[in-house]
Structure 1
Amino acid sequence: MSKSVSLEEAAGFLLRHQRILVLAHQKPDGDALGSVLGMRSFLRNLGKQADALFPSPLPERYRSFAGPVLTALSRQEAERNYDLIVLLDCANAERIACGPALDADFLRSRNLLNIDHHVGNNVGAPYNYIDSTASAASEIAVELAQATGKAIPVEAATLWYLGILTDTGSFRFTNTTGKTLRLAADLLDAGADSERVVNAVYFSKPRRQQQFEAELLQSCVKTALDGRYAYASIPPELFAKYDFDMRDGEGLIDLLREIDGTVVAALIYRKNDSYKVSMRSKLREFPVDPIARSLGGGGHDMAAGITLALPDAAAVEAVLLDKVTGLLRPVPEP
């Protein structure tokens, strides 16, 4: 049975259990990594056994923050070694990063606490704390830590600051609230290393990534709807030319969102037998989450993702253009 719990109840779970496994979503971004690694640090500081599981290689810019992590776990090890599993920042059951030996049904059969900030979370854990007003899972993690009444160690403060900073675009995005800024200030007061975070996130880009981005802008970007929609399909040969992996593509879509006059942006690339789509909006009155949901994806009003099994990038572009046209079409005056 799946049920919602309060912030205080979720904090109680963390205090009552001693052996805790922490998970996030596949292809983890700054918030997924920050929230998970920060939670691991916080729990270990309380004297608990806490481990983070990341089955796939981490983005290059964040590896120095991770330390040793689990990369694989069997069902027997999960059952034997942990009395609580905490899932952070994962809206969809099929996107849980748990490795081939585990799956959502197995996790739901365990003592699973699901903590998230995405609208429409469908994980269906036994226990769920979802706050869609939070800017990031890391923001919720800070509130959970504060609700326990325990001090936040410097390492956890740094990691949660990383998560909040990246998911708010350095507090530029509209998900930033007064509470977001107050909690970020609490983390800085707790010793969060802002300089380290900023340098890793914004000032450590490999030269080949800069070249990749330059060619992407020069050769792949298209606009429509009087420039209000900007989109790009990334060809496989561009990835190969610069040895670029989308694990390191966090923030890439902002190159399109930054274009003057753009309201909605979309980035498209092939992965295995389908196409991945990231969408962003600049204005709340034009949310992209309904488009994503209509195509089997999801996310937030201002940021959403989709996986489409279509024959080629042109077909994906056509579907998206139709949807975005409907979103941005002027409403007729009465």
Structure 2
Amino acid sequence: MLDTASLVNLLAQPKKIVITTHHKPDGDAMGSSLGLYNYLIQLGHHAKVITPTDYPHFLSWMPGNEEVIIYTDHTEQSNTLIADADIIFCLDFNALNRINEMGEKVGESAALKVMIDHHLEPADFDDYRYWNINACATAQLVYTFITDVLHHKELVNADVATCLYTGIMTDSASFRLPNTTSAVHRIAADLIDAGAVNWRIHELVYNNASENRVRFLGHCLVNRLQVYNEYNTAVIAVTHDDLEKYDVITGDTEGIVNYALAISNVRLAVFIVERKDKVKLSLRSKGDFPANDICKKYFSGGGHRNAAGGVSTDSLEEVVNQFKLILPKYKNLLIQ
């Protein structure tokens, strides 16, 4: 593994740098990537953010977004940048399969790989790792990487601060999750002092939905929500026909699971959605219930204790039935 002093020395001179993150990037993925991008360009580095796929439109306002390259839209250009890079920063993911077909190209590149992440069980593909599972967001780690490792707090300008605040805000569920410590709030305050307009960021992320998205949300809550009170669990299962009927686009399903979790007695909520070739699950839990354990054991996934995801190639009906059959195994944890 590369030591910190060597990395600092490498970054002292302009380098060709690629920054990438997981497929279907969320607020933390884009916030941490663009936050790091806006920091590196101040030092004269030739940096590019490449995302494996598209991402929600409500994240497209962040500073530097106009420079983002979507791999699936610009594959040849992306492959050239990856092959020619001196350093590849891998943010908010810990295994190359999380970046789809990009993973093979990143693995083949002679570039040094720097992982900055907060997910469990990282794979060994990196040369330098800045990793902490207790961090509420990768954006939090990018901030401390810039300020505490590279000692460049003065370069956390308004653009950097805006992006990193977005990442922390979204991955902490607006500062509501248990890992939102006093240190996180101090970082948020520093970012506001540096130019992040917190109320405006909230508006752009959370109050920027299309009419279709709001109507789809209503459909999910009225017609697709099932509550299993004996297990303190709620399930929203959405068909592919639902997605087509409401013209659902990337980002429109994000956060819907939290409405099920908002029910007072519910400790575990799952949003199950039927895509063209697979069924995806998004789990959220309260307290110490291990949502990630269900995803890891039964749905080829994982994540954090209170926020995890999985996938299945079975039908939507089969996945819902599988999930219901799993619940009795966790009853003692769900009803305590």
Q: Structures share a fold, TM > 0.5?
A: yes
Quick one: distance in 2 between partners of 1:14 and 1:292?
Answer: 38
Q: Residue type of the partner of 1:224?
A: Y
Equivalent-residue separation in structure 2 for 1:16 and 1:154 (angstroms): 23
The residue aligned with 1:59 is 56
**Alignment RMSD, CA only?**
2.4
Q: 1:289–1:301: 8 Å Cα contact kept in structure 2?
A: yes
Segment of structure 1 superposing worse, 8-17 or 218-227: 8-17
Q: CA deviation at 1:240?
A: 1.2
- What is the 5 A alignment of 1:210-229? 210-226=214-230, 228-229=232-233
Q: Cα–Cα, structure 1 residues 328 and 17, in superposed 2: closer, same or farther, change >3 Å?
A: farther
SS state at 2:178 partner = coil
Letter in 2 for 1:67: E
When residues 200 and 120 of structure 1 are mapped into structure 2, their CA distance, relative to the original with a 3 A threshold, is same
Instruction: Give the number of equivalent residue pairs.
Output: 325
1:60/1:248 contact within 8 Å kept: no
Q: Which residue of 1 aligns with 2:290?
A: 287
Q: Which residue of 2 aligns with 1:314?
A: 317
**Residue aligning to 2:238:** 234
Cα drift, residue 5 of structure 1? 5.8
Paired AA for residue 27 in structure 1: K
CA contact (8 A) 1:161 1:192 kept: yes
What is the distance in 2 between the residues matched to 1:234 and 1:254? 15
Q: Aligned pair in 2 of structure 1 residues 75, 127: CA closer, same or farther (>3 Å)?
A: same
Q: Give the deviation of 1:205 after TM superposition.
A: 1.6
CA distance in 2, matches of 1:330, 1:218: 28
Q: Which residue of 1 aligns with 2:68?
A: 69
How far apart are the structure 1 equivalents of 2:228 and 2:2?
42
How far is the alpha carbon of 1:204 from its aligned partner?
1.3
Distance 2:45 2:168 in 1: 25
Contact 1:11 1:144 in 2 (8 A): no
Unmatched tracts of structure 1, length 5 or more: none
Helix, strand or coil: the match of 2:88? strand
Q: Partner of 2:90 in structure 1?
A: 87
Report % sequence identity: 27
What does residue 127 of structure 1 align with?
128
Cα 1:225–1:160 change in 2 (3 A) is same
Q: Which residue of 2 aligns with 1:142?
A: 143
The 1-side partners of 2:335 and 2:271 are apart by 30
Q: Is the 8 A contact 1:91 1:116 kept in 2?
A: yes
TM-score (norm 2): 0.89
Distance in 1 between residues matched to 2:192 and 2:117, nearest whole Å: 23
Indicate if the aligned counterparts of 1:19 and 1:48 stay in contact, CA closer than 8 A: yes
Counterpart residue number, 1:257:
261
Question: 1:41: Cα distance to partner?
Answer: 0.4
